[in-house]
Structure 1
Amino acid sequence: MLKLRRLRIEKFRGVAPGTELRFSDGLNVLLGQNGTGKTTLLELISMVVRSDFSSLVREEFSIEYELTVPGEATVLVAISNKEDTSLPETKPRTAFGLPEHWHPAADITIEESSSGRRHHVRYDSDLGLIIGDGHPTGRARELSCLQAGFLWLYMLEVAEPVAISVHHKVRRARTARRFDESLELFTWLVGSGDARGILLVHRDETLIAEAEAHVIGVPQALSRRLAERYERPRSDYTFQHADFAFLTTIKETMRFDAAELRVDITERQPWGEDHEMVTFGNFVFRFWWEGGEFITHTRLSYGQKRLLTFFYYLACNDDIVIADELVNGLHHHWITACVEAIGARQAFLTSQNPLLLDYVPITSPEQVHHSFVLCRGERRGGRPAWTWTNMSHEDAAEFFAAYEVGVEHVSEILQSRGLW
């Protein structure tokens, strides 16, 4: 499973230069008052794990980070974007639309776990992609290191077995967006308009491939089951809760007797001579009680809508979870279900509600040091600024000693020591 182990910030918005954070492989909780940059940090983490800095194409930044696939390789990335104000604004020169006076750069090292061998990739906005110590390849000049998916696409250029293997792990995290604190993702999930998923189907109606969906993706089980049932004349398909583990979990957690998901085929387009591109969406979730009465997702409560979206989100993201104010609208039994469902995934969470904190596993002072990130706000040069740090080793040891006594809740220990 892919893990984000380290993030160093030299320049990014109002963050203190030289900020370096280390993360645990399990639950990581960002603590701080409103306005201390917790959501901004979650968004930055999402950019890192999704290999997508396209939202920063006209913004100066410089960061380093370390991704690892345990037992296979570690990927070290240094990436930046700088503005040369001595040059006038010109027309975009690349397919990516990067202006002449912005200069993104990236330096990537893939280190094999077993042998220690290193493979090096560098991107320069003028030269393009450079593999190892060689000359510019002339390839991928149009694929900026800020563009979505740059990291796993660059790995294909390395053409080494470890790079190809890690490529698949990194690519799998492309849908690890921030699970928002309200209903933004729910509205996207059940809304009309953008495609929820795309299938490439051969003329004999067999699935060739699935394209990535917008925003948070589509569970593989849904794409595969839809491909199995696909018939060219049909425009809608209905699946029962027994078809998908995530739908069964939603049904059982909300205590309904049955659930189903209807999916519409919204568009078909020819793709070459023998294929067609099939777009699907217009999701409708239905839930039944004993006796036959049912409701659709539109009649769910606020908390039920968030729960539905979160379990769908988990089904799309096998490795990394990024959730803002996860416990909003959730009963503590549902919080337990959510934390248990995260399982072995690495998670980055925020919460102003103390309930979540009591579900964070506490095993050692070192684990506490890595699991809690303290976010604080201040002013520098008359402007708002943020300081993000791991909990100090001293505070982590003191926290762990108090936790072992078993008298105070996690939230109480943090508050009494000024850590939250």
Structure 2
Amino acid sequence: MNKLTKLTIKKFRNVAPTTLEFRSGINVLLGKNAAGKTTLLRLLSAVVGAPEQALKDDALDVSYRIASESIDIEHTVKKTRVEDPALPLDPGRPLKEDLSSLQRTDSFVLEKNGVATVRADVLPNEIVLERADKQTRVESQFPAAPILSLYFALKKDREDSGSKELAEAVLLAQILSAGRMDESLDLFNNLLELEIKIRGSGVRISANRPTIPRSISQMTFESIPESTSATFPLAFLDRASHVLGYDSASARFDIERLSPEPSRQTVRLSNLRFFFKRPGEEVSHDLLSYGQKRLLAFFAHADASRDLIIADELVNGLHHEWISACLDEIGERQAFLTSQNPLLLDFLRFDSVDEVRRTFILCERASGEAGAQLIWRNPTHEEAESFFLAYQTGIQRVSDILLTKGLW
């Protein structure tokens, strides 16, 4: 699986410049309210390509590193505000200069075995590839995410025999994530509003949500019944139902055929409902408790995130056994979580001082002459070592050690 190993922030809102290092497993953000934990989760979501509306108008200069099986990628994203003077409606008035737009540039460094092999700049109309001895310019054919633009440019580059192989490595190194799961029930409610259109015999899928659970994507490649509604089994739903104490669960969609021609037919799936069964009982999702809905939403969110799971206040409303089930669901994937509840922290395990240092991101808010500033950092080596020595004794819980050491 692909992992985020580092995030460097040179400029972003009122955040002090910093470099954060990450564990390949579960990473936890610690800090008081208004220390920027949710903002950092939003930033992590945005840099890996998950839509994040709250940051769409933010200028920034950040870079992050991806480690994959065959290649490491460093991606730098710069969004600079450019003033666009507006023409006045009245010719007798001066130009207005109160409009601005963001100009984005993306730069990549591709490394194999620790050696940079290609540097690339993804520009609005072209991609510039630089190797040790030459520079190649490839015209952009259509808008795409920066890393996909780089992939297509390498595929089209005929001046280097290794470009196609490198392109495949870049494509496989993408971090796939559904972005940030919110701290309440927004994600659950959005899931219920999911609408999918399946077009023609070639099975082209479009949805009103940028990311959907893989179980639902796979479902759409099956034969859709000739009826007005249909019930489908879903892998993530089956796992969630057993955690919730039910024997089985199913998802039901309303089905509408929007065109009469079979070869060009468009089928719309909407009005998603979930049903849970055990002996003598069947309940729909609207009868679930707050915590049950949160757990179901997390399992759907995890199913949509191949590499990276981001969740805000994961344990809200969850029984301690459900927290353990959520961590099991994360499995070998990387995760970034926040929690004001010590229960999550007490599930964490550590094998070294460096693992402690990379696991925690400490978030705090400081005030100075320039105003409020957000400070995000990993624990120092000394702080991590002090924590790890206390952890090894096995006397205190993780949350208690963090409190004792002044890290939480």
Pick the aligned partner of 1:372 from 351, 356, 360: 360
What's the TM-score once normalised by structure 2's chain length? 0.87
Aligned Cα root-mean-square deviation (Å): 2.7
Partner of 1:155: 151
Pick the aligned partner of 1:177 from 163, 176, 179: 179
Residue 14 (1) aligns with residue 14 (2): yes
Tell me the distance in 2 between the aligned counterparts of 1:119 and 1:52: 27
Tell me the distance in 2 between the aligned counterparts of 1:373 and 1:347: 13
SS at match of 1:321: strand
Tell me the distance in 2 between the aligned counterparts of 1:270 and 1:398: 70
Tell me the distance in 2 between the aligned counterparts of 1:366 and 1:90: 57
Aligned-partner residue type, residue 78 of structure 1 = T
Pick the aligned partner of 2:332 from 344, 353, 356: 344
Residue 236 (1) aligns with residue 229 (2): yes
Alignment deviations for residues 38-97 of structure 1 (CA, whole Å, 9 cap, x no partner): 00000000111226577645432101111121x211111111111234x51479xxxxxx
Tell me the distance in 1 between the aligned counterparts of 2:76 and 2:391: 37
Aligned-partner residue type, residue 161 of structure 1 = E
Partner of 2:170: 166
- Residue 212 of structure 1 and its aligned partner are, at CA, apart by 6.2
Change in Cα spacing, 1:82 to 1:306, as seen in structure 2 (3 Å) is: same
SS at match of 1:59: coil
- Percent identity over the alignment is 34
Aligned-partner residue type, residue 330 of structure 2 = I
Aligned residues of 1:88 and 1:101 also touching (Cα < 8 A) = no
- Residue 158 of structure 1 and its aligned partner are, at CA, apart by 1.3
- Residue 14 of structure 1 and its aligned partner are, at CA, apart by 1.1
Pick the aligned partner of 1:82 from 80, 88, 105: 80
Residue 320 (1) aligns with residue 318 (2): no
Aligned residues of 2:257 and 2:265 also touching (Cα < 8 A) = no
- Residue 406 of structure 1 and its aligned partner are, at CA, apart by 0.7
Decide which moves more: 256-265 or 398-407: 256-265
Residue 26 (1) aligns with residue 25 (2): yes
Change in Cα spacing, 1:138 to 1:270, as seen in structure 2 (3 Å) is: farther
Partner of 1:285: 274
Alignment deviations for residues 203-259 of structure 1 (CA, whole Å, 9 cap, x no partner): xxxx5444566144132x33333432224x4332202xxx43312211111111332
Aligned residues of 2:42 and 2:55 also touching (Cα < 8 A) = no
Correspondences of 1:3-402 after superposition (within 5 Å): 3-17=3-17, 19-50=18-49, 56-69=55-68, 71-85=69-83, 87-89=84-86, 102-113=102-113, 116=115, 118-125=117-124, 128-132=126-130, 134=135, 136-139=137-140, 143=143, 149-159=145-155, 160-170=164-174, 173=176, 175-191=177-193, 195=195, 197-202=196-201, 208-211=203-206, 214-219=209-214, 221-231=215-225, 233-239=226-232, 243-266=233-256, 268=258, 274-291=263-280, 293-402=281-390
Aligned residues of 1:153 and 1:167 also touching (Cα < 8 A) = no
Tell me the distance in 2 between the aligned counterparts of 1:390 and 1:258: 42
Aligned-partner residue type, residue 217 of structure 1 = I
Alignment deviations for residues 168-196 of structure 1 (CA, whole Å, 9 cap, x no partner): 441x61x42111110000011113xx52x
Aligned residues of 1:15 and 1:387 also touching (Cα < 8 A) = yes
Unaligned runs of 5+ in 1: 92-98
Alignment deviations for residues 344-392 of structure 1 (CA, whole Å, 9 cap, x no partner): 0000000000000011121110100100110011124453220000111
Count of residues in Structure 1 that have an aligned counterpart in Structure 2: 387
What's the TM-score once normalised by structure 1's chain length? 0.84
Aligned residues of 1:156 and 1:164 also touching (Cα < 8 A) = no
Change in Cα spacing, 1:48 to 1:267, as seen in structure 2 (3 Å) is: farther
